[in-house]
Amino acid sequence: MRAGLAVLLALAWLPARAEPPRRPVVAELFTSEGCSSCPPADALLVELARRPDVLPLAFHVTYWNSLGWKDPFSLDLATARQRAYAAMLGEADIYTPELVVDGRRAVVGSDRAAVAMALDEAARAAAAPGVLRLRAGDAGLRVEIAAGLGAGTVWLVGFDHLHRTAIGRGENSGRTLLEANIVRAARPIGHWTGAALSLDAAPPEGEQVVALLQAGDGHMLDAAFPEAAR
């Protein structure tokens, strides 16, 4: 009996088998420094950037630039990406601040309750990572994708961690905005069709880079940071 008790005590000290970490939920905020409704959403994104389970990305659109203040971080690709989401999600128009969560659901980016609910739902649906890897390679970066079920486009996204900008004109004139994870560049580098795939690419502009694997209907399949940086 003592021997049996000793075995039970020993088993009690064994570490539980850890489940593989789930990939971060990708939260894309479409915003502009020229939009007076955007600062609360920008502030929420700063908070989300501190969470390890969320990958927030701020895409600064261009369609506010003619209304008093040209956003220095605005990109044509941000506007095009938001329009593509609108078509996929069946939206009649685009607006700021809009947060697209995992490519599946769009909510007002400053609505904390709606954002929290969308992130929670996406986290429950997100598959564990393991398909996508990002590391240094001969051409700067190497993206490796394991064999699996599905198909999608591989994106490299470069972003800056934090910027503080004094706004001189427009709806936010006189304000100083703190903004996180500002996308500076994003480009597709290949297409995955289920077979193992390796892609080499030069790093995009930005302080940090992330690889995204995105299905044709917009939803995220995987996301990976450079392995040396994690």
Confidence of residue 229 (pLDDT cuts 50, 70, 90): very low
**Global pTM value:** 0.89
**CB proximity list for 185: less than 8 A, separation 6 or greater:** 75, 77, 156, 157, 158, 204, 205, 206
Both tokens assigned to 138: 């001969």
- Cis omega before residue 97 (within 30°)? yes
Domains in the chain, start-ordered, CATH in brackets? Answer: 22-229 (3.40.30.10)
Per-residue pLDDT reduced to its tens digit, 2-55:
544 444 433 344 444 444 557 899 999 999 999 999 999 999 999 999 999 999
User: Does the structure show a pLDDT above 70 at 56?
Assistant: yes
Both tokens assigned to 102: 């995992």
Cβ(214)–Cβ(155) under 8 Å?
yes
Cβ(60)–Cβ(31) under 8 Å?
yes
Cα separation, 204 vs 185, in Å, equals 6
Strand 132-137 to 140-145 pairing: antiparallel
Tally of CB atoms within 10 A around 26: 24
Per-residue pLDDT reduced to its tens digit, 155-201:
999 999 999 999 999 999 999 999 999 999 999 999 999 999 999 99
What pLDDT, on the 0 to 100 scale, is given for residue 136?
A: 83
